[in-house]
Amino acid sequence: FIKMLSKNLLEKESSLMEMAYDTVRKRTADALMKLYGTYSEGSGPAKFEVSRADLASMVGTATESVIRMLSEFKKDGFIKIEGSTIHVMDPEKLGSIRF
């Protein structure tokens, strides 16, 4: 039980450190990659439906900031957007965002 609790605490601490020190761009890319990992069936493109507000909550920022990042990622060819559906077109490049 203590090992499980300790592991959970370390994961939460890591998550808080990322939210505190990573850029909105990096956090948005990380959130999209987590969703990609959940919904993809391999290493190619995948799609999932998520509201901008839910994504902003995952990222820990304002909805407007997430919308701005999604627009940048779309312009860069990392994603395609159709309504509330996001298609991850280039997971390798999206996952390699560092800042």
Q: What is the pLDDT of residues 54-67, one digit of tens each?
A: 999 999 999 999 99
Can you list the alpha helix ranges (DSSP code H) found in the chain?
A: 2-21, 24-39, 52-59, 63-75, 91-95
pLDDT one-digit tens code per residue, 7-53: 888 887 777 767 667 899 999 999 999 999 999 987 788 999 999 99
Q: By residue range, what is the domain housing residue 71?
A: 23-95
Does 4 map to a domain? Answer: no
pTM of the model: 0.82
Query: Do 86 and 70 contact (CB within 8 A), yes or no?
Result: yes
pLDDT in tens, 31-42: 999 999 999 987
Assigned domain for 41 exists: yes
> CATH number for the domain including 62?
1.10.10.10
Q: Confirm whether 2 is domain-assigned.
A: no
pLDDT at 83 over 90: yes
Task: For residue 1, tell me if it sits in a domain.
Answer: no
Number of domains in the chain: 1
Cβ–Cβ < 8 Å for 96, 59: no
